Chain A
């Protein structure tokens, strides 16, 4: 009897999602997400801002657009960090506690197991991203009239970034203790977000920060690029197609690295 690889993957993914849902951090995520949406609600209640210029009211829709871009990007980056946090022990824990041994003794490839665990972590991150980005887009659309289509691209950018962060965090967790992996996730996403923001605001970068902005995963840039149309007049960062290609390349490279590293790793007793 040779097992069907698709059925094995589905069964393992289902268990990985169940494991992820049962984690205590998920309750905290739900609370933080709810609070985040309440903050977004507060930030968007004033509708399209108006300022007085020489006693004449002037509509500034671009202010609303900028608010939307900032809110959307920050929430997207939070979903990516969350993916990294969840992935930081979703594969290493069943290896460390020995519960993976029975599964890996079966005719299941290591790639199948690692990818199932990755999907398990990503499902929670994607669901959180969908709630946060969907909720904030709905509020921004209703109150500031931002376009929903751009938010869909932003959602895809967030999912791609989250996949890259989670797969790289999961790979790191095969070699590092969890606390070190968490530090790497926070430091890397934070550093990339900062250099992306500095670059978008026209700061001249050099050295490592330039390399990180040009060649690193475009976590912040891809989010901003996707919803740049909300800013009037549109200030689209250079070559959004190149940014999208780089984002996808990092996600594919992250997942590939995870599979290669896990294949070569000894399974502990």
Chain B
């Protein structure tokens, strides 16, 4: 079953076209990396999947339903590029709220919170106000909320921004753990090596179109790195 289906999706914001006739499917259990220069339409694609905006033409299906319907977003977790967390809340309070919204049973919320705090290395900061945390720690809180309730589909938009090198490596490990549990991943990133290590398929987006898509080995020509392939595809499109 496809987790996400884009069929001829075009999205315009006024006179600007963010996506042009984009079609792709994301099979269950796969990990797709969206690569593209700034303004290519990667974030717009993620926002369409979550129902934050509606396509001008074409259709988007999330787990067989309309992204606007809450049922379609059950089991979906999102980490936005511009992460805005409520600074007044403690980390634990924030995670309890998101545990409830994610559908974690009340009897299991505390255990789930402890598990994601341990996973993301935030055990010692559980009772700190989020507003007192550094950007890197806030990003870890963002990951912690995304992992609550064992999500079936992770949407990650530039997930390692703000993390130090250790945090970047940790984040990669967390995503791999989620993948090993069968979680489908859709990740947008500028960092090619990160996408290459986490994702089994790549789509290169440029000027609102999918310029190339497939497995890494299908996109990279002999003697090329992924970066070389990326530059070649973007310049040619």
Which residues of A are in contact with B by a Cβ distance under 8 Å?
1-5, 7-8, 11-12, 15, 18, 22, 97-99, 101-110, 112, 263, 266-267, 269
> Are B101 and A11 within 8 A (Cβ)?
yes
Q: Known contacts A1-B74, A106-B73: does B103 contact A101 (CB below 8 Å)?
A: no
Question: CB-defined interface of B74-98 with A at 8 Å, one 1/0 digit per residue?
Answer: 1111101111111010000000011
Instruction: Give A8 to B106 CA distance when docked, in angstroms.
Output: 12
Least CB separation from A18: chain B residue: B88
| Of A3, A15, A22, A269, the contact of B102 (CB 8 Å cutoff) | A3
- Using Cβ atoms and an 8 Å threshold, which residues of chain B touch A267? 47, 52-53
B3 to chain A minimum Cβ distance, whole angstroms, is 15
- Using Cβ atoms and an 8 Å threshold, which residues of chain B touch A103? 101
> Are A106 and B52 within 8 A (Cβ)?
no
> Are B100 and A105 within 8 A (Cβ)?
no
9 interchain pairs (CB within 8 A)? A3-B101, A15-B86, A97-B84, A102-B83, A104-B52, A106-B98, A107-B70, A107-B74, A263-B68
> Are B77 and A1 within 8 A (Cβ)?
no
Instruction: Give A108 to B28 CA distance when docked, in angstroms.
Output: 23
Least CB separation from B96: chain A residue: A11
Question: CB-defined interface of B144-188 with A at 8 Å, one 1/0 digit per residue?
Answer: 010001000001000000000000000000000000000000000
Least CB separation from B52: chain A residue: A267
Q: Known contacts A105-B155, A266-B54: does B103 contact A3 (CB below 8 Å)?
A: yes
Tell me whether B224 is interfacial, beta carbon within 8 Å.
no
Instruction: Give A7 to B104 CA distance when docked, in angstroms.
Output: 11
Tell me whether B105 is interfacial, beta carbon within 8 Å.
yes
Instruction: Give A15 to B89 CA distance when docked, in angstroms.
Output: 10
> Are B77 and A105 within 8 A (Cβ)?
yes
- Using Cβ atoms and an 8 Å threshold, which residues of chain A touch B83? 98, 102
Tell me whether B227 is interfacial, beta carbon within 8 Å.
no
Instruction: Give A115 to B102 CA distance when docked, in angstroms.
Output: 19
Number of interface residues of B (CB under 8 A): 37
- Using Cβ atoms and an 8 Å threshold, which residues of chain A touch B80? 98, 101-102, 105, 269
Instruction: Give A107 to B72 CA distance when docked, in angstroms.
Output: 7
| Of A8, A110, A263, the contact of B100 (CB 8 Å cutoff) | A8
- Using Cβ atoms and an 8 Å threshold, which residues of chain B touch A112? 70
| Of A2, A4, A5, A266, the contact of B53 (CB 8 Å cutoff) | A266
- Using Cβ atoms and an 8 Å threshold, which residues of chain A touch B72? 107
Tell me whether B71 is interfacial, beta carbon within 8 Å.
yes
Q: Known contacts A98-B82, A99-B84: does B52 contact A2 (CB below 8 Å)?
A: no
- Using Cβ atoms and an 8 Å threshold, which residues of chain A touch B106? 7
Least CB separation from B54: chain A residue: A266
> Are A109 and B70 within 8 A (Cβ)?
yes
Q: Known contacts A97-B84, A269-B47: does B52 contact A8 (CB below 8 Å)?
A: no
Instruction: Give A261 to B136 CA distance when docked, in angstroms.
Output: 36
> Are B54 and A107 within 8 A (Cβ)?
no
> Are A98 and B102 within 8 A (Cβ)?
no
> Are A1 and B149 within 8 A (Cβ)?
yes
> Are B105 and A107 within 8 A (Cβ)?
no
Q: Which of B30-83 contact A (CB under 8 A)?
A: 43, 47, 50, 52-54, 68, 70-78, 80-83
- Using Cβ atoms and an 8 Å threshold, which residues of chain A touch B76? 105-107
- Using Cβ atoms and an 8 Å threshold, which residues of chain A touch B100? 3, 7-8, 11
> Are B43 and A269 within 8 A (Cβ)?
yes
> Are A1 and B54 within 8 A (Cβ)?
no
> Are B47 and A102 within 8 A (Cβ)?
no
> Are A11 and B97 within 8 A (Cβ)?
yes
> Are A101 and B84 within 8 A (Cβ)?
yes
| Of B43, B73, B81, the contact of A107 (CB 8 Å cutoff) | B73
Q: Which of B5-42 contact A (CB under 8 A)?
A: none
> Are A101 and B52 within 8 A (Cβ)?
yes
> Are A266 and B52 within 8 A (Cβ)?
yes
- Using Cβ atoms and an 8 Å threshold, which residues of chain B touch A8? 100-101
> Are B98 and A102 within 8 A (Cβ)?
yes
B13 to chain A minimum Cβ distance, whole angstroms, is 9
| Of B43, B70, B84, B103, the contact of A98 (CB 8 Å cutoff) | B84
Tell me which of B47, B70, B77, B82 has the highest count of chain A C-beta atoms within 10 A of its own C-beta: B70
> Are A107 and B101 within 8 A (Cβ)?
yes
| Of A2, A3, A22, A109, the contact of B88 (CB 8 Å cutoff) | A22
